[in-house]
Structure formats: structure tokens, C-alpha cells
């Protein structure tokens, strides 16, 4: 089953695209970013990894074991640019068992503040125009990431809803997932449950004392995932994800990487709790997507 595909031409969404977004909680926009922008973004990611020191900061990221949740390196990364590595990339003495560019899991979480070329992309007029077309008048850019899914080791990202990590009252999280390379079932494409954003929000991942934990595990049962579909897309495609939409990606079983980058926004009118995992100590305020700065 293929989810409907749309385009964002002349800064407009068609009526059909808006209906698809409302009904499914997900919107696939093909050719949203051009090949040269995909290349430029991949080069930014590669440069950051080349400059990283994984054996000095050997933090892994795993949605299976949540090993990162015990790490101050992760917990204080909301206003920084930090690299996180695959769980299986270190031997028992803390040394990488492969080149770091093949061991990287993701980079987060303030690329939009601290990497000028990424900042120009994140606040580009086209993304601002899309926010406007979606009716987002007060979307603040909260988080940005590169996600790599390297061949042979790129791990699964378990089923989740972004609003359980970026919780606001009322709920307002929105995810922008940009494919920087072709994503297929073999190399770890996103899967999502169309319409699943109407099933309510699951247990939160939040700060309790010094720890990051998943709380209220009994709050809601497991969602019915029988209608889940893969979202195989070409490089340059944007997938918009409603904050309560369940989504997941499997391990990379191919010999090809699957680079993506993401932006997450929240509404300025919502309350952002102090026990959310992502906290910014910087004095730099969150900025509106539709301000379109810098250009
Ligand atoms: Fe997500």
C-alpha cells in the first residue's frame, strides 16, 4: 500500500494534500528539497562526525535499552551539537569497532542554532511558507537532528509518538523528516500508522530527579499497529508527522546508508513543562519558523 504523495509548488498545498494531512496525520511531499541541498546537508553532517571524538564521549543512542537516558552527555544536549553512536559500535574497552563515520547514529539537538549552514536551511523561506500553508502561525523550532542509519549497524527506532518526548499542554509537537538519501524498506525507511494520531498520546519520556525515564506506562495500552505502512521515498522528500502519529524505523539490512534530518516544532501558545527531557540552558530564545531568518 502506498500513501498518497503530494508536492509543494509555488508555496501552496492542494486541498487534497490538506485533507490527507488532516485525516492521516502524515503528509508526504516529494521533491521538497533539491539534490544540491541534500548534498550540502550531508556534507555538514559528515564534517561534524569527522570533527567528533567518539572515544572521548562514547555515548550510544538506543531506543531499545534507553542507554543514553542515563547519560549527562545526552541529557544536556538540547542546546548543543553532539554526536551519538550506535550501541554495537564499541568494544568492551570503549574502542570503536569500525570507522566513526560508519558508527554514527545521530547528531542533535540544536543544529538550527549552532551550525550556520543548517540554520539557513531550517529557517529557509520555503519551510516558513510550508508552516504558513499548514496554518502554523506560531511554530517555534525546538529541536534538529541528523539521523544516519548506517549499513550493517543502523539500529531500529521503536514505535513512538514525538509528543511523548516533546510534550506540551495542549499537545502541539510537529515533526519534519527530510530524506537526504533514498529510503527503502531494506535500508530502514520510516513506517507510520495513518490515522493513528487520533488514538491518544502514550507514556511520556521525562525528567524525574536526575534521571530520564518513561513514566505512566499504564496510561494507554499498545496502539493497534495492524494498519502500519512503510514510507519508501526518494532523496529530497519531506514527510510531515503529527506529534501523536505512531512511527518507527527498522534496522538497516542493506549495504547503503539512509541519511535523514529532522526538525521539530511546538506552538508558542502551549506550555512547555520543566520536566521534559529537552531543556535549553542557553539564553537564545526559540525562534519562529515563519520568520524566515536567516535567509
Ligand atoms: Fe520520531
pLDDT by residue, tens only, the chain of 295 residues:
689 999 999 999 999 999 999 999 999 999 999 999 999 999 999 999 999 988 777 577 666 666 665 578 888 899 999 999 988 888 888 788 999 999 999 999 999 999 999 999 999 999 999 999 999 989 999 999 999 999 988 888 999 999 999 999 999 999 999 999 999 999 999 999 999 999 888 899 999 988 888 887 766 667 788 899 999 999 999 999 999 999 999 899 899 999 999 999 999 999 999 999 999 986 678 999 977 554 4
Q: How much distance in Å is there from the Cα of 239 to the middle of ligand 1?
A: 11
What is the C-alpha separation between 261 and 109, in angstroms, rounded?
11
Instruction: Work out whether the CA dihedral 151, 157, 159, 162 comes out positive or negative.
Output: negative
Residue pair 96/90 in contact (Cβ under 8 Å)? The answer is yes
Buried b (16+ CB within 10 A) or exposed e, 96-118: beeebebbbbbbbbbbbbebeeb
| pTM recorded for the entire structure | 0.94
From ligand 1's centre to the CA of 247, what distance in Å?
Answer: 6
Using the mean position of ligand 1's atoms as its centre, give its distance from the Cα of residue 8 in Å: 22
Backbone φ and ψ for 25, nearest 5 degrees, come out as 75, 15
- How far is the centre of ligand 1, averaged over its atoms, from the C-alpha of 177 (Å)? 9
Q: How far is the CA of 222 from the centre of ligand 1 (A)?
A: 17
Structure-block grid coordinates of residue 125 = 523561506
Determine the pLDDT at residue 70.
59
Distance 93 CA to ligand 1 centre (A): 31
Listed in sequence order, the residues at least 6 apart from 18 whose beta carbon sits closer than 8 Å to its beta carbon are: none
The alpha carbon of 99 and the centre of ligand 1 are apart by a number of angstroms equal to 26
Distance 245 CA to ligand 1 centre (A): 9
Amino acid at each position: 500500500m502506498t500513501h498518497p504523495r503530494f508536492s509543494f509548488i509555488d508555496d501552496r498545498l492542494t486541498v487534497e494534500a490538506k485533507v490527507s494531512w488532516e485525516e492521516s496525520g502524515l503528509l508526504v511531499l516529494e521533491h521538497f528539497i533539491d539534490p544540491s541541498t541534500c548534498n550540502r546537508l550531508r556534507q555538514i553532517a559528515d564534517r561534524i562526525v569527522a570533527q567528533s571524538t567518539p572515544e572521548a564521549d562514547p555515548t550510544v543512542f538506543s531506543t531499545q535499552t534507553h542507554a543514553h537516558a542515563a547519560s549527562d552527555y545526552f541529557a544536556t544536549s538540547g542546546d548543543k551539537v553532539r554526536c551519538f553512536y550506535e550501541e554495537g559500535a564499541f568494544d568492551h574497552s570503549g574502542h570503536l569497532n569500525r570507522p566513526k563515520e560508519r558508527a554514527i547514529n545521530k547528531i542533535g539537538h540544536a543544529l538550527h542554532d549552532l551550525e550556520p549552514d543548517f540554520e539557513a536551511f531550517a529557517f529557509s523561506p520555503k519551510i516558513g511558507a510550508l508552516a504558513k500553508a499548514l496554518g502554523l502561525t506560531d511554530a517555534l523550532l525546538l529541536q534538529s537532528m541528523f539521523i544516519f542509519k548506517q549499513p550493517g549497524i543502523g539500529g531500529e527506532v521503536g514505535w513512538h509518538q514525538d509528543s511523548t518526548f516533546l510534550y506540551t499542554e495542549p499537545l502541539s509537537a510537529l515533526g519534519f523528516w527530510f530524506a537526504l538519501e533514498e529510503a527503502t524498506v531494506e535500508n530502514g525507511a520510516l513506517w507510520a500508522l495513518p490515522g493513528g494520531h487520533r488514538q491518544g498520546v502514550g507514556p511520556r519520556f521525562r525528567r524525574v530527579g536526575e534521571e530520564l525515564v518513561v513514566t505512566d506506562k499504564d496510561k494507554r495500552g499498545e496502539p493497534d499497529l495492524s494498519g502500519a505502512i512503510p514510507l519508501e521515498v526518494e532523496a529530497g522528500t519531506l514527510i510531515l508527522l503529527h506529534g501523536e502519529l505512531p512511527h518507527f524505523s527498522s534496522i538497516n539490512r542493506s549495504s547503503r546508508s539512509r541519511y535523514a534530518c529532522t526538525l521539530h516544532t511546538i506552538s508558542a501558545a502551549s506550555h512547555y513543562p520543566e520536566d521534559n527531557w529537552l531543556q535549553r540552558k542557553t539564553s537564545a530564545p526559540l525562534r519562529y519558523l515563519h520568520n524566515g531568518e536567516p535567509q
